[in-house]
Chains A and B, each alone.
Chain A
Amino acid sequence: MLEPAREEFPQPRVSPEIVAKHGLTPDEYQKIVKALGREPTYTELGVFSVMWSEHCSYKSSRYYLKNLPTEGPYVLQGPGENAGVVDIGGGLAVAFKMESHNHPSFIEPYQGAATGVGGILRDIFTMGARPIASLNSLRFGSIDHPRTRYLLSGVVAGIGGYGNCIGVPTVGGECYFDACYNANILVNAFTLGIVKKKRIFTGIAKGAGNPVMYVGSKTGRDGIHGATMASESFSEEKEQRRPTVQVGDPFTEKLLLEACLELMEKDFIIGIQDMGAAGLTSSSTEMAGRGGCGIELDLSTVPLREKGMTPYEILLSESQERMLLVAKKGTEDAIKKIFDKWDLDAVVVGRVTDDQQFHALWQGEEVARIPIRMLTKDAPVYQRPATRPANHEQIQQLDLSSVAEPSDLSAAFKQLLASPNIASKEWIYRQYDHFVRTNTVVAPGADAAVIRIKGTKKGLALTVDGNSRYCYLDPYVGGVLAVVEAARNLACVGARPIGLTDCLNFGSPENPEVMWQFAQVIQGMRAACLALNVPVVSGNVSFYNETDGVPIHPTPTIGMVGILDKVERLVTPWFKSSGDVVVMLGRTREELGGSEYLQWLHGLTRGTPPWIDLKMEQAVQRCCLEAIDQGMLRSAHDISDGGLAVALAECCIGGPEKPLGVRVQTHEMIRADALLFSESQSRIIVSLEEEDMGRLQEIGTRHNVPVQQIGVVGGTRFSIQPLVQLPLEELKSIWSNGLQARLK
């Protein structure tokens, strides 16, 4: 080998074209040159391009995100780490986070979704927590769009393929279809793990001279510039980007999970971080950034999957199932022994330094030297222009007198029940293992999933929620509703919220109208979080969900976690026995703006979303929780998409047991279609024994919540007098087949 190492890989001269290809603006490039005091090398340019990408730097969102309330008495770790951590008492804590994998899932649905699950799982176990439950929030284009079936099948199989294989149950989720996602689907994955308070790990590098170790899979060429791809909009040519989608290997991740948790029982490591987006580069620089130190990597020691990889490729690879850790000096061999047991690589690839530089070597030569600050704290932050969309006033106009009331309301109801947004999602969740780890008390299909916490009497309730139609029509109110509905879902099973994580999916931040939507959604979320006292402990922003200049509807998805002090007190949405009385907490208004009914039956996405009074919302939730605490409720179900009629139907037929009929009488003086399908907020349907009615009334009066007895459980028919009459079996068959029939 007489050739000098330098010539083994291309180091093109950095030209304006190359800068542009790396997604950096001329201004950003000038900033780099100024701070370095020289032109960057090609390898350094690659490092900057990923670390300053929207995906890694949050440069357009950071200014607004700081408005979200992130603190609370039980928050042990807020945003900025791999996951948020909340104390649940008894020396235990939960770590949770939600993350998007939208762009890769559109390009390669199976692997895109699978690696999304893999990534969020690593974010959780890197904190020292054992993942015990996953959920997901999915958005696809119109059910009739030719690509939807392929994308849906692939994404669901990918989520199942990864989650099932690694042995973490998928206990819940949501899935919506809307034409605004035809060219940009959303795949948001949530995972929660449990950790002893004393054994929480963070992604930090400290102590000059301590070894930096690489553990897990070998590095290949997959996923190079994935972070940059996720920071751009789609256009026709970008569908050719398949090679930037990573390939998942859940088996290796399972080994990595077990090996890491075994290692974390010992006292060997200072900090640990998953190599996710921007791989080795982001994990090493972020860890050094948090510890205020430097890091030196010898890229020649990185385990490689193929020959001839350049330092540029090694630094930017997004190969999956890899972690970086900073060990206490002298523990290297003991660490290697643990990974050896699990047949995984564990190699020293560098060391912590005290010069606050990111320093990369390749066969003894320097290939990058960049101050850590420039890649972390000093990355650009933009306060981008934000303007209210030109069509905003127009889309909010809705003249209900021009919307004809259906002459046959039973027929209209049947049509709505078959909407893929309303119909049963069993076709999806039966592909996910929701039993493994023997904690699942309430499986998918309820308002919130419930898992028990072994060794305690407690339970956790988990939900993901978000209605993008509301956000499109009024992003502020939409932001409020996303948070309150998640909290209401928890209240319906009897849980009090302890924290939330979010995925904020939007179009391009360079579009002022999108930026306005973003700012408004954040303000709405803030108001709701403050009112309900729920801190935001982690989250993720996904911009550039747009194609050929057309953005998706603003889609914040909220993952919320609640606690039940006594898990056996939990309540499910389904009616339990004939003769129980059916009660609505809250009041129905004539509100059809943004409703599923208006969209699915009338083809209109218009009007303003339902009105919300945060005080009333809180009162309704408290009323429900108090009634559950006193053990008087047989069932509780949130009224949301599709309104009262759909919620009642779900109470009758949605459960795992035998369906039960219902006879409801209504007296509201509003349009019949609004009475059935209005999505008025702050409403919950509960059922209870008649003798408990007085006690429930008393709780309602105390909280100033309307408590209306609307019917009785029983019979073989579903009847809302005098509007809708259907046999139970017909109802069940329409609802069960609505989605499935369209996927055959």
Chain B
Amino acid sequence: MRWAVITFPGSCDDHDVFDSLKSDLGQQVKFLWHKEELKGNFDCIVLPGGFSYGDYLRCGAVARFSPIMRGVVKFAQSGGLVLGICNGFQILCESGLLPGALVRNAGLQFVCQQVYLRVEEIDTPFTGGLKKGQLLRLPVKHGEGCYYADAKTLERMHKNRQILLRYVDSKGKITATANPNGSLENIAGVCNEGRNVFGLMPHPEDACSKILGGDDGARIFMSIAAACAERARRHA
């Protein structure tokens, strides 16, 4: 399986994704530079967290115009897997690859903490290796992670079961205190209608090793790897 991680100017977690995939999970992974056109064959492209262009404008609003994004959009449209984490999620929303938007946290402060997430849907390549209702413990760290979508969009997302992760308490209940940023319906991660583009605010790459406090993040990456292996097997 071939992974790619895009470095935008201001990406911070690009190395985190790269190192976790390579060192902790033994995956093949390559960096891509935002100024270049998308070249090469990849199974999954990751848009990492960070502060592309300093987030001085709306988060992700400038990065979506980076030359490489033309190729990413085409890649997604042709069924390629795209994963956006934190700032990457914001860029995917700005690009129109994912519905909704991420706005300032309800508490108006940057929030860095561990959260519990409940897996809501498992018929996607990103969550296929998980169980419905399973809890994951991952860190969040963002100032603009409050998920918002208008009523019509949300209804469509419900209908298509596009909400993959929700913030919950340690018992798996959706509560206001378990929601770190005021996200609508405690939404932490969503996919597109084609189920091949996934964005989430928590950081799976920061939880791929027991010594760092947990390896639930690895479960998401390994889901993707398994799905790709399955695809390859079917195509072969």
Chain A residues engaging chain B, CB cutoff 8 angstroms: 157, 160-161, 164-167, 249-252, 254-255, 341-343, 429-441, 443, 452, 454, 567-568, 656
Contact = CB atoms under 8 A, between A and B. Distances in A.
A350 B224 CA distance: 54
B80 interface: no
B211 A254 contact: no
Contacts of A567: 211
Interface in B1-50: 9-13, 15-16, 19-20, 23, 35, 49-50
19 contacts: A157-B110, A164-B110, A165-B10, A165-B54, A165-B55, A251-B53, A255-B9, A342-B9, A343-B9, A430-B112, A430-B113, A434-B141, A436-B12, A436-B206, A437-B15, A438-B19, A438-B20, A438-B209, A441-B213
Contacts, number: 94
Interface residues on B, range: 35 or more
A431 B211 contact: no
Nearest to A156: B109
A254 B12 contact: yes
Contact of A164 (B53, B141, B203): B141
Given A250-B51, A251-B54, A568-B211, A431 B9 contact: no
B112 A435 contact: yes
3 closest pairs, A vs B, by CB? A167-B12, A251-B54, A435-B206
A250 B141 CA distance: 17
B112 A433 contact: yes
Given A165-B51, A250-B51, A160 B110 contact: yes
Nearest to A251: B54
B121 interface: no
Interface string B177-212: 000000000000000000000000001011011011
Interface of B: 9-13, 15-16, 19-20, 23, 35, 49-51, 53-56, 109-114, 139, 141, 143, 203, 205-206, 208-209, 211-213
B114 A656 contact: yes
A250 B54 CA distance: 7
Contacts of B114: 656
Nearest to B210: A568
Contact of A249 (B54, B111, B209): B54
A440 B212 contact: yes
Contacts of A157: 109-110
A659 to B, nearest CB: 13
Contact of B110 (A166, A431, A440): A431
Given A251-B56, A430-B112, A438 B12 contact: no
Contacts of B139: 435
Given A251-B9, A440-B212, A430 B111 contact: yes
Contacts of B50: 167
A167 B13 contact: yes
A431 B203 contact: no
Nearest to B206: A435
Contacts of B11: 167
Contacts of B110: 157, 160-161, 164, 431-433
A254 B10 contact: yes
Contacts of A452: 211-212
A258 to B, nearest CB: 8
A596 B141 CA distance: 33
Contacts of A437: 15-16
Contacts of B20: 438
